[in-house]
């Protein structure tokens, strides 16, 4: 992948008001994207959706102005989950989709994600083309060629029907009491409708967005509120989305967390049992080794991709496989949708549970997770930790310490100024010690 100035592993992201997350940059980005899409020979319209952050309104207006100046029509979707924008981009036959969101980050952050006309993440070449146009001054097209803007009022209803269409007509959630945690984010108005219309008794938390409370002590990154709600309401299970709705984690009736690695195993093993897996499974460098061992035990091939759902999708397409995912709850199910979708993934897990005749707890017992420790080292500026000889040497010592039963991973976050130090092995105390020692070396080597 070529070095890019603005795009990370999941679009462009940062703190609101600090470069590049400013109105001026978003105006320029809208214009640059419009120019790049036009020269790709794609259709002359772009969809814009957003999560519930207060800053989303400001950036929506700036992007709309930039696209219009480039002569591109804009359809405004309002607050919608990221995967809904991917789906609607395809159904509206648009040139591209733009999502204004910082996913699981707090409201102080925001960002931009792009989808192609096919509802997939942009390839590196097109992102590079947008960055080249960002180096050029804005030139407004002729007044009679300016793009027009309109709002799509029925976007939520369209997406609700799409989500329901990804499960068989006879599938029902009758008899299930489900607690949904919408993270005060983009799923707040659509997720409850999906699960209620499929027959579940639904209780909802995290569905009162005020522009500032997105992901605040709720959602897939903060499961305590969901655990408490499942317990108090004596629900059958809980489902937590992140702020933009492309991730999902679950809580079993006993309050135990079911993370993305376990959900991936449940999906893959049940499909394999039904003869519907059609190939192997793609995880990432961060996927727990227990997933790989459990899948191989039942005859399912497993491959690791770089961290990020776009790279999971790349390997799925290369292998013509269907299912991949990350421990964070970012799942890609290619025969259902074109990108990670929290609601659709949750429905597929519930379908697997119903078809298996087992509980979610029973299904997850098919794999044993190895102890895994992550230490995040905050840095002023992201850098490649493997470019520093002292860090590489410390990593080699750590790997020798853990032996063949362990694994070390060092990587720069693609969305935050962090270096992630991950250790995995048989003994929890050993991997914690090794990870903390390595993190200290990284911290001392920070430029």
DSSP designation for 338: S
How far apart are the C-alpha atoms of 271 and 273, rounded to whole Å? 5
By the 8 A CB rule, do 346 and 248 touch? yes
**In the β-sheet with 418-424, what is the strand arrangement from edge to edge?**
372-378, 418-424, 407-412
Q: Nearest 5 degrees, angle CA 134-CA 136-CA 138?
A: 90
Catalytic hit among 103, 116, 328, 345: 103
413 in catalytic set = no
Name the region of 119 (left: φ>0; alpha: ψ -120 to 50; beta: rest).
left
Q: Give the gyration radius of the chain's Cα atoms.
A: 22
How far apart are the C-alpha atoms of 151 and 135, rounded to whole Å? 30
* CA nearest neighbour of 250 among 226, 269, 285: 226
Q: What b/e sequence results for 109-127 when a residue is b if at least 16 CB atoms lie within 10 Å of its CB, and e otherwise?
A: bbbbbbbbbebbbbeeebb
Q: Euclidean distance between the first and final Cα of the chain, in Å?
A: 23
70 burial via Cβ count (<10 Å: 0-12, 13-18, 19+): buried
SS3 assignment, position 168: coil
Q: How many CB atoms lie within 10 A of CB 380?
A: 8
Give the residue numbers annotated as catalytic, written as ranges.
Answer: 103
């Amino acid at each position: 992948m070529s070095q890019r100035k603005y795009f990370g592993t999941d679009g462009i992201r940062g703190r609101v008001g600090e470069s590049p997350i400013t109105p001026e940059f978003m105006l320029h980005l809208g214009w640059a994207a419009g120019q790049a899409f036009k020269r790709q020979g794609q259709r002359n319209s772009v969809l814009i959706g957003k999560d519930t952050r207060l800053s989303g309104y400001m950036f929506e207006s700036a992007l709309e102005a930039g696209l219009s100046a480039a002569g591109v029509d804009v359809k405004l979707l309002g607050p919608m989950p990221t995967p809904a924008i991917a789906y609607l981009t395809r159904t509206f036959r648009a040139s591209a989709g733009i999502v204004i969101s910082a996913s699981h980050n707090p409201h102080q952050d925001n960002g931009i994600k792009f989808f192609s006309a096919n509802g997939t993440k942009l390839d590196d070449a097109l992102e590079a083309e947008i960055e080249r146009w960002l180096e050029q001054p804005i030139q407004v097209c002729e007044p009679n060629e300016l793009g027009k803007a309109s709002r799509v009022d029925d976007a939520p209803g369209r997406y609700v029907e799409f989500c329901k269409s990804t499960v068989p007509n006879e599938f029902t959630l009758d008899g299930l009491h489900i607690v949904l945690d919408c993270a005060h984010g983009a799923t707040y108005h659509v997720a409850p409708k999906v699960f209620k219309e499929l027959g579940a008794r639904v209780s909802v938390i995290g569905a009162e967005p005020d522009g500032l409370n997105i992901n605040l002590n709720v959602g897939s990154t903060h499961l305590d509120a969901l655990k408490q709600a499942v317990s108090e309401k004596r629900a059958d299970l809980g489902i937590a989305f992140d702020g933009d709705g492309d991730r999902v984690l679950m809580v079993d009736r006993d309050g135990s967390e079911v993370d993305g690695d376990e959900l991936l195993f449940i999906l893959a093993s049940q499909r394999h049992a039904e003869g519907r897996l059609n190939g192997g499974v793609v995880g990432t460098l961060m996927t727990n080794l227990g997933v790989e061992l459990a899948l191989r035990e039942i005859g399912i091939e497993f491959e690791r991709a770089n961290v990020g759902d776009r790279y999971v999708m790349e390997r799925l397409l290369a292998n013509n496989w269907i299912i991949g995912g990350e421990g964070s709850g970012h799942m890609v199910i290619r025969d259902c949708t074109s990108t990670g979708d929290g609601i659709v993934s949750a429905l597929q897990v519930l379908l697997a549970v119903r078809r298996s005749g087992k509980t979610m707890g029973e299904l997850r017992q098919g794999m044993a997770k190895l102890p895994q420790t992550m230490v995040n080292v905050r840095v002023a500026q992201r850098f490649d930790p493997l470019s520093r000889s002292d860090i590489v040497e410390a990593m080699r010592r750590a790997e020798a310490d853990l032996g063949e039963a362990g694994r070390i991973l060092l990587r720069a976050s693609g969305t935050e100024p962090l270096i992630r130090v991950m250790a995995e092995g048989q003994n929890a105390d050993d991997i914690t010690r090794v990870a903390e020692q390595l993190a200290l070396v990284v911290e001392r080597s920070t430029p």
